[in-house]
A and B are shown apart, each in its own frame.
Chain A
Amino acid sequence: MDIDQARYHGWQGRLQSPWTSCIAIVRVALVQVLRNKAYWLLLALGALRFVAFWSIIYAVTQLALPEDVGEGLLKRFGFSANSDATQDNGYITFIDGQNVIVMILLAFCGSLLVGGDFRTKTLPFYLSRRIDKRHYIVGKLLAVSAIVSLLTVVPALLLFLEYGMFASSTSYWIDNWRIPVSVLAFGAVICIVNSILLVTISAYLQRIVPITITWATMFLLLGRLSAYVARETQVEYWRLLDPWRDMRLVGRLTFGTFRNDTEHELAWWSLGILTTLCAMSLAALVHRVRAVDVVE
């Protein structure tokens, strides 16, 4: 049948579970971000860092570099050729660095992915289909998580694969099975925290400038402020006010590597703070999606 024939045709198929719509929300969010050329710069920066790490691992494992040069290169990027407790720090270093790019990207994405739905009254478009606010919220959280993962978890896992692939045997993968598990766990922390905070902030503030200012305040200003107060009062607990540092500490918790005992002690506090923050944000988000855009 020619679809260009301008007559109405019925549709006989069966509708799937509304949860499958979350996949569509993720797909559309990725399309929205990738079609915006302004974001390509940040995506390219992320890709560049990945290529740099990839090249270092390749150079050390494949090229006949002097041992001290190879070891120096690895250490410079956070890896260690010797099997010790700090061996997996390279992945933390990589994810931490990528997280900077992710933070900037998210600051600009919030309005596009979530804020616009509230600002242009597009939310009823979503909620008047078969999905309800649960599916909408989960879809949007997964969409942000997908963007975060593309820049952090996925390349980190690729680096792990590369390291093992270029090693002489499969023993690297077997001996370091905790690394991909830790990468996934750290990635999960980053995805959950970033997505919940971004979607909530964007739902309330909607426009790009207030979202960016709030995002920067939360992750930069709060960090500086907490560091200053901690330094002045000599109380390290003040640093817990920095959500970015909290994410890093929880990340180290998943890898089981800490620079000192204080970090280890603070990591559990960080986990508690992030959990509380996320729970409060999620409650605010649920309230926002229900109260404003459906009931006009």
Chain B
Amino acid sequence: MHLVDIHHVSRSFGSVRALRDVNLTLSSGTIGLVGNNGAGKSTLIKVLLGLLKPDSGSGTILGCDILRSSSELRGRVGYMPEAAAMVPMLKGVEFVAFAGDLYGMPHRDARRRAHEVLNYVGLGELRYRRLEEYSAGNLQRLNLAAALVHDPHLLLLDEPTNGLDPAGRIAMLQLLEDLIAETGKSVILCTHLLGDVERICQQIVVLNQGTVVRAGTMDEMRSQVSNRYELTWSGPCEPYRAALAAAGATFADLHDHGQSKVMVSILDGFSTARFFELAHQSQAVLTELRPDEENLERLFFRVTEEAATATAT
């Protein structure tokens, strides 16, 4: 059974198309949902939770239909909203127990479980404080505890490190890493902080303008760039660039590396020895030839730019 399996999901708000024909099949694990602001991440999360009905399309999460079984679905999913929830006058343990009550747990179980998860997220000492007295970082932990209280199969975390200082962010990421390692729970992490995804997630979904532009494991993503090389040479610049272009190489650099250092994509069957031949013919001396080791940030910029180019053409 797939963790997420949705087909042709679209959702608009007035004239704004937040999601456009989204098809997504994800297996269990930790998944990063990344995209720029307004890419449709939060809308997709809400569709996955059954909070928003898509205008068209269908799908299942953990085997539950997103159109018909939203209550059952939310019983199996823990959601941590972007804005930390605040119920004034409640103490931490009461807040988490209240979340359990809202999931439909028997109150006694919810109360007991609230103590357990608060200890787990490191708020055991603070559990009898009122919510108004919690720091931003601790409020995020509290909301994570509220998402965990009913022991869900899947955690949907919407910007969990949003608004945290660097120390708080690192602590939250460490907590999530420990949680994933210890429980093996599936996590969908929705964020625009690529470092968070790179650190935690095994799979990644890149959204751009309501469309899934890439989805797969991190390794798969990186393997897609095996035909990219970073070249550095000395000698005349333009002849070598022209020779490379004539040989079918495309300049795929996203950043300005200067005139004698470029990133090129080559066609299948293009031997790396050709780089040296072309350099020799252009009277350039190739000083460095390095396969591209693309980090997530560059991957993200590349795929969003490719998507934008494809849309424009």
Contacts and interface: CB of A to CB of B under 8 A. Distances in A.
B72 to A, nearest CB: 8
Given A128-B74, A295-B52, A15 B89 contact: no
A132 to B, nearest CB: 7
A130 B74 contact: yes
Contacts of B105: 11, 13, 15-16
Contacts of B65: none
Interface stretch (B115-123, B190-198, B222-230, B288-296): B115-123
A16 B83 CA distance: 27
B70 A132 contact: yes
A120 B143 CA distance: 14
A116 B98 CA distance: 16
Interface in A1-59: 3-11, 13, 15-18, 20-21, 23-25, 28, 31-32, 35-36
Contacts of A31: 89-90, 94
Interface string B73-113: 01100010101011111100010001101111111010011
B71 interface: yes
A294 interface: yes
Interface residues of B, number: 45
B77 to A, nearest CB: 8
B151 A125 contact: no
Chief secondary structure at chain A's binding surface: loop
Nearest to B77: A128
Interface string B169-199: 0000000000100110000000000000000
A9 B146 CA distance: 14
Nearest to A135: B102
Given A32-B87, A126-B102, A8 B120 contact: yes
Contacts of A127: 51
Contacts of B216: none
Contacts of A17: 104
A130 B88 contact: no
B42 interface: yes
Contacts of A9: 116
A9 B148 CA distance: 10
Contact of A4 (B42, B124, B150): B124
Residue among A121, A128, A295 with max Cβ neighbours from chain B (10 Å) = A128
A10 B116 CA distance: 10
A32 B88 contact: yes
Contacts of B115: 3
B133 to A, nearest CB: 13
Contacts of B124: 4, 6
A85 to B, nearest CB: 46
B46 interface: yes
B49 interface: yes
Residue among B70, B71, B104 with max Cβ neighbours from chain A (10 Å) = B104
B42 A130 contact: no
A275 interface: no
Contacts of B86: 116, 120, 122
Contacts of B179: 8
A129 B87 CA distance: 15
Contact of A8 (B42, B71, B85, B183): B183
Contact of B75 (A15, A20, A28, A112): A15
Given A6-B124, A122-B87, A130 B75 contact: yes
Given A21-B104, A35-B89, A294-B51, A128 B81 contact: yes
A124 interface: yes
A131 interface: yes
Nearest to A123: B85
A296 interface: yes
Contacts of B103: 15, 21, 129-130
A7 B182 contact: yes
Nearest to B49: A128
Nearest to B149: A11
A116 to B, nearest CB: 6
B303 to A, nearest CB: 26
A7 B89 contact: no
A13 B106 CA distance: 8
Contacts of B182: 7-8
A83 B75 CA distance: 57
A8 B143 CA distance: 16
24 contacts: A3-B115, A6-B119, A6-B120, A6-B122, A7-B120, A7-B182, A8-B179, A11-B113, A15-B103, A18-B104, A20-B104, A21-B101, A31-B94, A116-B87, A120-B86, A125-B81, A125-B85, A125-B87, A125-B99, A125-B146, A128-B51, A128-B74, A130-B74, A296-B42
Interface of A: 3-11, 13, 15-18, 20-21, 23-25, 28, 31-32, 35-36, 112, 116, 120-122, 124-132, 294-296
Given A24-B102, A31-B89, A132-B71, 12 more contacts: A6-B120, A8-B120, A10-B183, A16-B106, A25-B102, A36-B89, A112-B88, A122-B87, A125-B143, A125-B146, A294-B52, A295-B46
